[in-house]
Structure 1
């Protein structure tokens, strides 16, 4: 049974691209992907605000390491998709290699965007680090619903940067959760959930990369279950968990004092 998809994601040059590289290399129904709507990385933050947040998070040395990679990616993404090599340098280049339409969206709540999504008439809208909170006008456009992948155990680790908090609290495993989307954050019924070992050698960077790759396979498994109409839903009771915000400087100091590393 066909299952048409629209992905909503952000133009992240680091981790989100890893998810899509793995997903597109393994997904056998790429012809059913009707498009990718892409917003700016980390939503509406301007360059200065984003740089300040990253500096506070990584510290001086880490900031310059990450900044150098970001600058290089900005240059390489202007290379034509046909010349970008295996995987490409950006999410847009990656999808273009597979001839999947990509649009860059400034406002995913606008009537023009909603009209475009309605015309696609897709079965499922898939959020992968989407830079927008889904509201009812968007949710109801997917015939079989909207789903999200969250790199944390739900409902325990709702919110931002769950891999950081799972390491912070010395969890032995990190969670990967595919769940339905409703207007609340990380709140819909759980479609599929898997655990990934947190290794003694893991940095936050290495754990995020590994969970992105494994998460792509979990998403494929979840889509197969939706396609076959055999999803075994689990409740996602928000009162059983906590909502986590982006880590503060004090959180990061404590993270490091517990022997954890960011990079």
Structure 2
């Protein structure tokens, strides 16, 4: 039975403060029918609440100076472009903050989504749905319980395979022919909860980590909108998450070395 109404679905969207990929993930949802973003919140890209210097040093030691320099150049370039475009009001937005400004959305940055202050803020918004897009923090139950309908996450693999961090890296390292995108209910278990929608994505022979992540973002935007439209229409047909599958954490230095030796590239 459908419980769709003419009222829009009020969505609290939590994502990572990042330049380039996240605006591609979010673009479709901001223009979708029946969806109203009540707030766009960002968290640091530091995998939890560790400090940025600690995160950067950890990244440097794991990935080495060459890969580290590639990432600094890439994100530095788009951070500069985003700042210029935000000030001038012209050009493409390359950050959630600039995207929010362009769409006249409430924007908030928090170091930790589980603090009493942020939880109280989220409660004040009375969202129907809480959406996590590449957020780098685990959501506690007090936050997950706030939305009146559900909390959902979008993950860049065909769950339950490749749970955890950097699924695109691991699928390339393991020479997979296919990856995918999954929208699932959020629980306190990482990458757990029943699956709402899932879509496979072929990996091309010439894919770099960058090109694969870009296509995941572009296709993920459409899948997320479709899942939210299902929720709005009361037409969700979810599938339990299997206990099988695989989990991967941040790559170690040997994983990065093998990735490069196999002929894979980051950009």
TM-score of the two chains, using structure 2 as the length reference: 0.90
Change in Cα spacing, 1:232 to 1:8, as seen in structure 2 (3 Å) is same
Distance of 2:109 and 2:28 partners within structure 1: 22
Q: Does 1:138 align with 2:143?
A: yes
- Unpaired stretches in structure 1, ≥5 consecutive residues: none
Match of 2:90 in 1: 85
Structure 1 vs Structure 2 CA RMSD:
1.9
What CA distance in whole angstroms lies between the structure 2 residues aligned with 1:51 and 1:84? 31
Moved over 6 A (4+): none
Q: After alignment, is 163-172 or 138-147 more displaced?
A: 163-172
Cα offset, 1:36, TM superposition = 1.0
Q: Distance in 2 between matches of 1:193 and 1:41?
A: 25
Aligned to 1:242: 246
Tell me the distance in 2 between the aligned counterparts of 1:5 and 1:82.
27
Quick one: distance in 2 between partners of 1:7 and 1:144? 14
- The alpha-carbon deviation at position 136 of structure 1 amounts to 1.2
Kept in 1: contact 2:208–2:266 (CA 8 A): yes
In 1, are the aligned partners of 2:62 and 2:252 still within 8 Å (CA)? Answer: yes
Residue 11 of structure 2 corresponds to: 5
Distance (Å, rounded) in 1 between the aligned partners of 2:147 and 2:71: 36
**2:195 is matched with which residue: 190, 193, 197?**
190
Q: 1: distance between equivalents of 2:199 and 2:155?
A: 11
Residue 17 (1) aligns with residue 23 (2):
yes
1:38 matches 2:42 = yes
Please show how residues 170-249 of structure 1 align to structure 2 within 5 Å: 170-238=175-243, 240-249=244-253
CA shift, 1:17, in A, is 2.6
> What secondary structure is seen at the aligned counterpart in 1 of 2:215?
helix
Contact 2:19 2:78 in 1 (8 A): yes
Q: Which runs of 5+ in 2 are unaligned?
A: none
2:105 and 2:166 map into 1 onto residues whose CA distance is 29
**How far does residue 260 in structure 1 lie from its aligned partner after superposition?**
2.1
**Structure 1 residue 206, shift from structure 2 partner:** 0.7
1:178-204 CA distances to partner (integer Å, 9 max, x unpaired)?
000010000100000000110001011
**Contact preservation (8 Å) 1:152, 1:174:** yes
Length, aligned pairs only: 260
Deviation, structure 1 residue 103: 0.6
Match of 1:162 among 163, 167, 184: 167
Would you say the 8 A contact 1:84–1:93 is kept in 2?
no
